[in-house]
Amino acid sequence: MALEHRIDSLKKRHARIDEMLRQEELRHGADHLALQRLKSLKLILKDEIERLLQDQRVTA
């Protein structure tokens, strides 16, 4: 159960980062450094989610 909760929490955070990224992209004069950081964080979260899902499949 703790693993499922962690995965769900990461998915929610990933979705929030995705929305922040979209908003920044739409903003006039978007901050390219902020965009790069958000994209990097989003990718890190995606990788962590995938790793945990793989761990969950292995232990199931």
- For 50, the domain range is 2-59
Q: In Å, what is the CA distance from 29 to each residue of 33, 48, 53? A: 12, 31, 37
pLDDT above 80 (res 60):
no
Number of domains in the chain: 1
Single-letter code of the amino acid located at 32: H
pLDDT above 90 (res 11):
yes
Phi first, then psi, for residue 50 (nearest 5°) are -60, -40
Indicate the pLDDT class of residue 59, thresholds 50, 70 and 90: confident
Q: What mean pLDDT do residues 5-10 have?
A: 97
Q: What mean pLDDT do residues 1-29 have?
A: 95
Single-letter code of the amino acid located at 34: A
**Angle formed by the axes of helices 32-59 and 2-26, nearest 10°:** 160
Q: Does pTM surpass 0.75?
A: yes
Q: What mean pLDDT do residues 17-37 have?
A: 94
Q: What mean pLDDT do residues 10-32 have?
A: 95
